[in-house]
Structure 1
């Protein structure tokens, strides 16, 4: 059963102005030369039905609409036969991938909420090159946070940044000087000591990376108590979180749980597009 309730129409308005040009590029990639199959079916007006073949959340409707450029009513599209088939595979691939991300995001979110977690569940930037927009959109439809969209959205200082600059303090100082007041700074840490240095330096978000579930709970409680009333910051836990172990990291002191498991290697939702055949009419040939 396909759940379409979460693919709110209003989410289409969050997409950047460039998203339609990406669809054009994907269509061009799939038809670099002659389309003999398009010649076979011609431009006779047809209507096709989109069928959901496996359970999941439907996500990516705006991409499907733009790919076909026809009129859609729930799960039908209409237009020239050639156009329907020309965009079929691109559209179904986008829907399958985007819906898979939405379904996995929703699954993890529901499980964590049922276990009592009230904080943010987020994806990561470990997305497919060229397909980030669709995967991030799927996270949103599934109810997850997109985290940072790109290198310009938020400054994340990881071990390589710190080593290159010399210390967490110096790295945060440099990031603040270049990014100004409007850009948040997140620092990846491996210990409470590193977290303390990042908080003291003025980091907005502290990522406890690759901690154990029990280690997260101890460190998070200690940090929140030690810095209460002195500094404001968010605590994030990341690194190795999956649907199987995420519940073991739940505690009220953690503000964000981030994981790539909601978008990397997730099962696709299966769809098919079938042209509705009028049994009373014979085949049409275009010349």
Structure 2
């Protein structure tokens, strides 16, 4: 089966194009004064990448320009690392009426900058994993921008890491507030299993080995060892794996690009990182009318 990033567009739900329409409506809520200035003459523009990074967000950019009656011809491929060499590299040409090119410009640039930034950080995480021979999964989190989750999760996939759960309906994760409100880990897991059935995995956030043991005994499929120091996580993961080999062990809490390698261990199945989407630098793009 092909792993080409071009196939990732097939994952997007039917509703995603309505999001594009909403983004355009936000940026053009009434009169397009600049569009009036340039008019409807046929024109073309070049999409330039001005910083080193992984190109991501192609289907979204295609749809943005499609909805304003323009078309995009890509020079670079999605997932390709663009080396700007301190200057700029042409990654696409866009064709349409001048006013329409400018209608889609800022929405497309903002989206690609964010998506490519996430893909670039994700690629570095995937490369670190390969360099150190870590056999587990590096994953994102639900710490995404409201209304923009599909784009940010898409960027993770293009970069080569796992998305973790997409939303609250994708997996049952019981965190500290769920446990405290329910009364105990055991009660929380039992209630979750009652409604989740066999199809949904149950993950429990644990602050100690004792909590992890309670979660596993209650029927959890995954235990998240939260905010453990690297050495403590490795020791706990090996211990739990030896006794409960069927359970997935996840480490999370404050893991960054600079520290992730410290958590690599044969006993750890998943390392989840909010920093895959939070505080990620954008990749700079620009669109310039060809003259």
Please, what TM-score do these two structures have when normalized by structure 2?
0.90
Question: Is the 2:65–2:72 Cα contact (8 Å) retained in structure 1?
Answer: no
Q: CA 1:118–1:247 in 2, change beyond 3 Å: closer, same or farther?
A: same
State the partner residue of 1:253: 267
Q: Secondary structure in 1 aligned to 2:22?
A: helix
State the partner residue of 2:279: 265
Q: Tell me the CA shift for residue 72 of structure 1.
A: 2.0
Write the deviation string for residues 73-120 of structure 1: whole angstroms up to 9, x where unpaired: 211111111111011000000000000000001112211221221211
State the partner residue of 1:134: 151
In the alignment, does 2:42 pair up with 1:25? no
State the partner residue of 1:38: 35
Q: Give the 4+ runs in structure 1 shifted more than 2 A.
A: none
Any gaps of 5 or more consecutive residues in structure 2? Answer: 75-91
Structure 2: distance between partners of 1:25 and 1:234 = 39
Q: Secondary structure in 2 aligned to 1:237?
A: strand
State the partner residue of 1:165: 182
CA RMSD of aligned residues (A): 1.1
In the alignment, does 2:67 pair up with 1:53? no
Structure 1: distance between partners of 2:161 and 2:10 = 18
Q: Secondary structure in 2 aligned to 1:13?
A: helix
Question: Is the 1:7–1:60 Cα contact (8 Å) retained in structure 2?
Answer: no
Q: Secondary structure in 2 aligned to 1:274?
A: strand
Which piece of structure 1 moves more, 70-79 or 156-165? 70-79
Structure 2: distance between partners of 1:38 and 1:71 = 18
Larger radius of gyration: 1
Question: Is the 1:7–1:61 Cα contact (8 Å) retained in structure 2?
Answer: no
Q: CA 1:262–1:181 in 2, change beyond 3 Å: closer, same or farther?
A: same
Question: Is the 2:43–2:98 Cα contact (8 Å) retained in structure 1?
Answer: yes
Structure 2: distance between partners of 1:185 and 1:132 = 22
Structure 2: distance between partners of 1:269 and 1:86 = 21
In the alignment, does 2:209 pair up with 1:209? no
User: Which structure carries more relative contact order (alpha carbon 8 Å, separation 6+)?
Assistant: 1
